[in-house]
A and B are shown apart, each in its own frame.
Chain A
Amino acid sequence: MRIFERFRKHSWHDDVSAYVDGELAPADLARFEATLASTPEARDAVAAERDARAILASALPDLTAPRSFALTPEMAAANRPARVPPVAGQARFFSRASGAVSVMAAAAFFVVLVVDTSGSGGDDDALQAAGGAESLTSMAESAAGPDLADDGSSEDPLAPSGAATDTEPTEATDNAYSTEDRSDPDEDARRNSTDAAGETSALTALEPEDRTTGGLGAVKVIFAIVALAAAAAFVFTRRLGGTS
């Protein structure tokens, strides 16, 4: 019980200055005012506190400066203001910018990839042509090692990359592979019928590549390059920022 009394007394004593200075939070103010109403000692403390504050302000007015402290041109020249360190400023900017760009590029590439692999087969051949881009992406994302299979075949220069193999094989991706590699008889039949229409299987294999040169494959390559460049810039500027 004595402990509580001591705590309560200590508590209102602590709030006297803040009360006189108008710095009490509303809840504390209400509590203190209740204490004031019931405790003459608290009222005396507040009165003494106000006196002390007034005496201080009255006895110690602001002084006038004994002399001018203005800076002469010589003093200013000797104490030239430092500029914001350019390296640090640029590093901060590039760090933020490259971070944002790499995130956006990665997101955009992911969207294109998802749309591409889950969409219609209209652009499926893009996957084939964009194998290089996928490999770059997989390097960038380091999810899978680069799988630029080079079997020396000009008809089928693009082995399934990490990204492509990770993706659930669809009809589209199946179609993307050249006819020579596939053992599906239906597929072969369909391809043969195309051949029968006057096109060679080699031409069939090359055609998608030609089409994707200005299509999604190119977009993916650009995205991948941007993402890689941004990631490299991000790492570089982080190091720069860390050393500055």
Chain B
Amino acid sequence: MVSGQVPADDQLISLSKDGNLAAFNTLVERYQGPLFSLCVRLIGSREAAEDATQESFLSAYRNLHRFEGGNVRSWLFRIAANECKDELRRRSRKDLALSLDRPADDDHAALDVADSAPGLQRLVEQSELARAVHEAIAALPEDQRLVILLVDLHGFDYHEVASITGAALGTVKSRVSRARARLREYFLANPELVDAYRRLEK
């Protein structure tokens, strides 16, 4: 690592493979926000998302030798997506009430807007919009929810999503299409959300 330069992901992986924990933790710091975001929106519970995020990094650390090059970010997201699926499966088996039919934890919407928002009215609108969008996302089937989060929130292209989810490219395209169709219907049925969005964008 050259001081003053931002080390590339694969450089950090290489150092981590040689036992450099600080290099691995640099990767953790780089991706813990996005991975936690994915987990919290996939699972719908902040506490479970924290556990899934931590377990994702532990799993990545344990399986460093399996990484044979490629996109580190995609690799970490793949691990996190699998952790979240496992968590959802566990929850489903235990027959716990999933929070997918409600906007996750009560503090979740507030968390989504915590980084911005001057003005109370704006904050309220953002909070309401975030809550409503979260509802719409949570109402999607798990597979569609994952692809739409990866594409729209994390900016992966369809090929990367196919690699992360292990689905065929055509399946990814179809899932994105069906998820967006549902979201479009949701927003058409709730035009005040679109209005709120347009006000916030001004």
Contacts and interface: CB of A to CB of B under 8 A. Distances in A.
Interface of A: 13-18, 20-21, 23, 45, 48-49, 51-71, 73, 75-76, 79-84
Contact of A65 (B16, B53, B116): B53
Nearest to A78: B58
B153 A67 contact: no
A56 B153 contact: yes
B50 to A, nearest CB: 6
Contacts of B37: 60, 62-63
Given A52-B180, A76-B61, A62 B197 contact: no
Given A17-B176, A59-B129, A69 B54 contact: yes
Contact of B61 (A17, A45, A71): A71
Contacts of A69: 28, 32, 35-36, 53-54, 57
A69 B30 CA distance: 10
B31 to A, nearest CB: 9
A60 B41 contact: yes
B112 A81 contact: no
Contact of B58 (A21, A54, A79, A83): A79
A116 B134 CA distance: 81
B173 A65 contact: no
Contacts of A55: 129, 133, 187, 193-194, 197
Interface string B28-66: 110011111100110000100010011001100111110
A23 B58 contact: no
A63 B133 contact: no
A12 to B, nearest CB: 11
Range of interface residues on B (Cβ < 8 Å): 35 or more
Contact of A82 (B65, B184, B188): B65
B174 interface: yes
Interface of B: 16-17, 21, 24-25, 28-29, 32-37, 40-41, 46, 50, 53-54, 57-58, 61-65, 111-112, 114-116, 126, 129-130, 132-134, 137, 148, 151-153, 157-158, 173-174, 176-177, 180-181, 183-184, 187-188, 193-194, 197, 200-201
| From A55, A64, A79, A80, residue with most partner B Cβ within 10 Å | A55
> Which 5 pairs between the two chains have the least Cβ-Cβ distance?
A59-B133, A70-B25, A65-B32, A81-B64, A63-B37
Contact of A48 (B40, B46, B65, B188): B188
22 contacts: A14-B173, A18-B173, A21-B151, A48-B188, A49-B184, A52-B180, A52-B183, A52-B187, A53-B180, A54-B197, A56-B137, A60-B130, A68-B28, A69-B28, A69-B54, A71-B24, A73-B21, A75-B58, A76-B61, A81-B16, A81-B63, A84-B65
Contacts of A52: 180, 183-184, 187
Given A52-B180, A52-B184, A71-B28, 8 more contacts: A20-B180, A49-B184, A56-B183, A59-B132, A60-B112, A61-B112, A61-B115, A69-B57
Contact of A83 (B65, B112, B183): B65
